[in-house]
Amino acid sequence: MAVDRFTLIPDVVAFVSSDPEQSDQLNTGRPGPLLDLTVESVAFGGKGVARHEGKVWFVADAVTGDRVSARVVKDGKRYGDAGIEEFVARSTLRGPSPCAWSETCGGCQWQGIDYAQQLEWKRSFVVTALQRIGRVEETDLSFPIHGSPNVLGFRNRILVRARAYADGRVEAGYFRRGSRELVPIGRCAIAGAEINRFLEWFLEQRFPGEVERRWRMEIQEVHEAQAFGSHQSSKVIVTIHPAEMPCADLEPVRAALQASPMVAWTGFNFEIREAPDFVFDVDADAGRNAEYVTRPGMFQQVNVAHNHLLRRLVRQAVDATRPARILDVFCGSGNLSLQLADGVRWIEGVEFDSRAIDVARKSAERGGLARTTWIATDATKHLWKYARSGVKFDLVIADPPREGMFEAIIPLAKIAPQRIVYVSCDPGTMARDVGSLIRQGYRIAKIDCLDFFPNTWHVETILVLDRVVEGAS
């Protein structure tokens, strides 16, 4: 069963999956019936959970305590989905939103919800996953969840939809949740100051043309990379993703962006391979290798301040065992392992994305980091190669994508590192993988949750696992 979301209800765990018995019964194209629902809890995935006549209903944009009139969207045999038509009574957990567009924008689900309550829900998602999916037993699940240093203004990168009308007017915003209807915004409450300053400038521009033009626009705060330890104040890099090709109608847009003193670089998405390097993070806690390089269009953690805590937790887990050889699989551009290079221990990073590996090498070169190697290859195949050849590592860091690393568990266990540091953005696949590692002879030594995305249902988890059974693979 492919788990997509789950929730803790007193006597049931609800799954949305590819189970054929849960096929949609409502597919006529006509509006579904209305239900009067009282939301009892919140599910991973951000939907409220209610019961009606013995069936569980997932209600988009609802939270615990909401009483709603909800329209059925999908009706299965065991559970269904519904959307709010009208609030009968709003939950007392709801307060005033700091964002003027939060009721319509598809970005944040929980603006105006007490932040302590948000953290409690997120921690419960992880506990539920470990208990119900990972079948984790005899483990202390009273671990902490670390709130973000900033609840607003924390994102250093956003992706907006932009539109220029024939008369020159421009709009930028996000799609309404569950639709392709653009919700224009004036600023983004969770974006950084430089991004919002750029947005305000952009919305004042005029780009007349014969036709309406649409594109996606990725905006990221960076420092212009100069010599190591020397860089200018923050600017933005802007990647333009045209809705259609060719994109000659967007050339005036690019020209205007290039001329702005706020913009360090701009170009189309097919030009990013020729883009220069930029320093996106300077982490004083990481010591001499404190600068992290990026390029336009490349994934990085968007909550830079909270990412410093994640690195520190990884470093503490590593330093406690003093490993001589460290393997970082799904390493990206070296976010977690660059800081560990001390010139004595061996660091090997593995990532399928060759651009990310190139950036990791650039960061290592800028910091003068010795005894590091960065390999662009499939992480699972790399683990199998080492498992078959008998190559060993003292410690493995794994930060897989949302789908987890289930196929890599067996070769990882055969390599038999004494300690595994597992970082995950999805409690369901994390619990599945950790449960498998426990059956391969590991135990959970430490768990921490981090809230990288306040006002949404997303949660990050870092688990430290130690090997307790030799030869269990």
Question: Hey, what are 135's tokens?
Answer: 């079948």
The residue from 99, 105, 188, 425 that is catalytic is 425
How far apart, in whole angstroms, are the C-alpha atoms of residue 323 and residue 340? 10
Q: d(Cα 311, Cα 303) in Å, to the nearest integer? A: 12
pLDDT at residue 405, rounded to an integer: 97
What pLDDT, on the 0 to 100 scale, is given for residue 11? 32
Q: Is the peptide bond before 246 cis (omega within 30 degrees of 0)?
A: yes
How many CA atoms within 13 Å lie on the side-chain side of 227? 1
Cα distance between residue 370 and residue 362, in whole Å = 13
Residues 309, 310, 315, 320, Cα dihedral to 10°: 90
User: According to the model, what pLDDT value does residue 227 have?
Assistant: 47
Other residues' Cβ atoms within 10 Å of the Cβ of residue 44: 24
The neighbour count for residue 220, using CB atoms within 10 Å, is 28
188 is catalytic: no
Q: Alpha-carbon distance 30 to 32, whole Å?
A: 6
Phi, psi dihedral angles at 118 (to 5 degrees)? -55, -45
Task: Please tell me the number of Cα atoms within 13 Å of 1 on its side-chain side.
Answer: 15
In a structure prediction context, what are the per-residue pLDDT tens digits for the chain, which is 473 residues long? 334 444 433 333 333 333 333 334 444 456 789 999 999 999 999 999 999 998 999 999 999 999 999 999 999 888 999 999 999 999 999 999 999 999 888 889 999 999 999 999 999 999 999 999 999 986 678 899 999 999 999 999 999 999 999 999 999 999 988 788 999 999 999 999 999 999 999 999 999 888 899 999 999 999 865 544 545 568 999 999 999 878 889 999 999 999 999 999 999 999 998 999 998 898 877 655 578 999 998 989 999 999 999 999 999 999 999 999 999 999 999 999 999 999 999 999 999 999 999 999 999 998 889 999 999 999 999 999 999 999 999 999 999 999 999 999 999 999 999 999 999 999 999 999 999 999 999 999 999 999 999 999 999 999 999 999 754 54
Structural domains in the chain, CATH included, are 8-94 (2.40.50.140), 119-149+303-467 (3.40.50.150), 157-279 (2.40.50)
Q: What is the pLDDT of residue 3?
A: 41
3-state DSSP call for residue 244?
Answer: coil
pLDDT at 231 (0 to 100): 52
Which pTM value belongs to this model?
A: 0.89
- Partnered with residue 293 across adjacent β-strands are 279
| pLDDT at residue 471, rounded to an integer | 45
Distance CA 137, CA 61 (A): 33
- 307 secondary structure, DSSP code: H
